[in-house]
Structure 1
């Protein structure tokens, strides 16, 4: 699974600055802009994302996690292998998004203890995870767009840490994920091709005192 990830909005990276500038202009007078999180991202927090608007990339603020009915818990992940079979996720299949990140966190069980790791594709400053989103109603009748992160089998290098990992899209697959509008059968073939474990080298850092 992917239970936390990292995105530093203060870092001087052109790709991040472009997304943040677009969001700042769009939400200039909205209080939701002050809720956008930077650093280690937790479920239910508001974060920058990329969605498809008129077949163009558009920066947007989304909330991580779909609330369960009458419960405080949220659904934060969706298995890439079954998104077309599960009614909740198949109903969201037209609302695909890219979630920018600089790394994600995973925990390895060691008896009664857990060791935290920071993981990212090597030599990659920013990458995009595949997501699905939908409009949901929070307590008080507040409407927000909320997303889940797709997961897949782990890359070879991190199998010893966890049995799942977020779907990190190759650059050439990002627009295919966002914009492709084809039949259900063609979508199934496309997803099999692009929603796969990361094939490049991974950077794995043990996180101390967490």
Structure 2
């Protein structure tokens, strides 16, 4: 996954994932999130479920796909530095690959205003002793609806599975979700402006549907 969007209200995110935070900046709307961006993630701590800022990208070298392969093949105990998290999102972008100039599309779920992407996170410490959180999005093979746009999509957790994922029961869930490539959830997919190709652009205009302009859109 290359980019995603989060523009849900603070109260909705807190209610959906059963977390709370006094921070307002943590819930700032962003319509063009790319690797390296600081974004909220949900994870378990000893005192319970928590929400904090993490940086999208682990070690600046391990891709989401690489972390996905680790999660698929190993249990959490085998990679104790990687732990499960949930990434709140409103939707995500995909680019149609079958044309010379890639066409951007926005994907969102009709029945849920805020989604939970399955993820893994890692806590690091800088040379100055500052603690940082890095995260990756778990991806899976695209379902039949999204296959024309790309081979992979983020793994969208069902709300009933949030607790199991955060409590480390991710292996059975991965087995289940990787088998469900033919299932099509209630997704809306539509063409959006080419402005999304510029990471410096960040406005609601990026997720506004535009009409087809040519036969291969």
Instruction: Tell me the TM-score normalized by structure 2.
Output: 0.72
What is the total number of aligned residue pairs between the two structures?
Answer: 191
Q: Which residue of 2 aligns with 1:46?
A: 38
Q: Contact conserved, 2:76 with 2:82, CA < 8 A, in 1?
A: no
Q: Does 1:204 align with 2:168?
A: no
- Judged with a 3 Å threshold, the aligned counterparts in structure 2 of structure 1 residues 207 and 98 are, in CA distance, closer, same or farther, namely same
Q: CA deviation at 1:37?
A: 6.5
Q: Tell me: CA distance 1:83–1:34, structure 2 relative to 1, closer, same or farther (3 Å).
A: closer
Matches within 5 A, 1:123-202: 123-137=111-125, 142-180=130-168, 188-194=171-177, 197=181, 199-202=184-187
CA RMSD, 1 decimal:
3.4
Q: Which runs of 4+ in 1 moved over 6 A?
A: 34-37, 86-89
Matches within 5 A, 1:1-210: 2-8=1-7, 11-12=8-9, 14-16=11-13, 22-25=20-23, 38-54=30-46, 56-68=48-60, 75-78=63-66, 80=68, 82-85=70-73, 90-92=78-80, 95-137=83-125, 142-180=130-168, 188-194=171-177, 197=181, 199-210=184-195
The structure whose residues are more often strand, as a share, is: 1
TM-score using structure 1 length: 0.74
The answer for unaligned runs of 5 or more in structure 1 is 182-186
Quick check: 36-45 or 149-158, which moved more? 36-45
